[in-house]
Amino acid sequence: MFFRKPNMSGLCGAQRCAICPYMMTADYFTDPSGRKYSLRNNVDCKSSNVLYAINCRRCRKYVYVGETGGTLYQRHLLNLSRIRTQHSDPVAEHFYTDGHSMDDFQIMGLEKLNGSDEYRKTIEQLWKAKLRTYRPYGINVQE
């Protein structure tokens, strides 16, 4: 009998990867109401054209949903640099204020998408609403 491995958000497997220590490994995630969502595909830090959620260990919730046409690796090297240098953007500020630190920063790959930037941004808006990451519950800003 053949068993298919579940799709995962996980590690790329490269030694000394700067992003893997922050990646959450899971085959599902939950929204604030407790509804469970299975991942549709495998996502790691080398994946591109993805939607991701940033989880805060201290707050114990997803605080931000974003998208990138590049790799998660590239996107989150930038986030980590902005946290270290105390840059004034919502993600960085969350993780260097109010007793937070980079140790609280976690990344969950939500979905790898095919299609245009516009399509990716549309799906991003849906996940922001489902995971309630708009202010005041999270740090996404309503556009």
Distance CA 135, CA 95 (A): 16
Residue 10 lies inside a defined structural domain of this protein? yes
The structural domain count of the chain equals 1
What range does the domain containing 94 cover? 1-108
Residue 51 lies inside a defined structural domain of this protein? yes
Residue 135 lies inside a defined structural domain of this protein? no
140 in Cβ contact with 134 (< 8 Å): yes
Nearest alpha-carbon partner for 81 in 22, 139, 136, 14: 22
3-state secondary structure of 12: coil
Residue 122 lies inside a defined structural domain of this protein? no
Q: What is the pLDDT of residues 85-134, one digit of tens each?
A: 999 999 999 999 999 999 999 999 999 999 899 999 999 999 999 999 99
- pLDDT(3) > 70: no
The share of the chain scoring above pLDDT 90, in percent, equals 80
Which residue, chain included where needed, has tokens 């996940």?
127
pLDDT at 142: 85
Residue 139 lies inside a defined structural domain of this protein? no
Locate all alpha helices (DSSP H) within the chain, ordered by sequence. Answer: 72-84, 90-96, 117-130
Q: Measured at the alpha carbon of residue 63, what is the angle toward residues 99 and 33, in degrees to the nearest 5? A: 120
Instruction: Give the pair of three-digit tokens for residue 103.
Output: 């140790």
Residue 95 lies inside a defined structural domain of this protein? yes
Residue 49 lies inside a defined structural domain of this protein? yes
Distance CA 81, CA 99 (A): 18
Alpha carbon of residue 21 to chain centroid: 13
Residue 116 lies inside a defined structural domain of this protein? no
Nearest alpha-carbon partner for 110 in 62, 57, 60, 53: 53
- Which residues have CB under 8 Å from 137's CB, separation 6+? 32
- Global pTM exceeds 0.85: yes
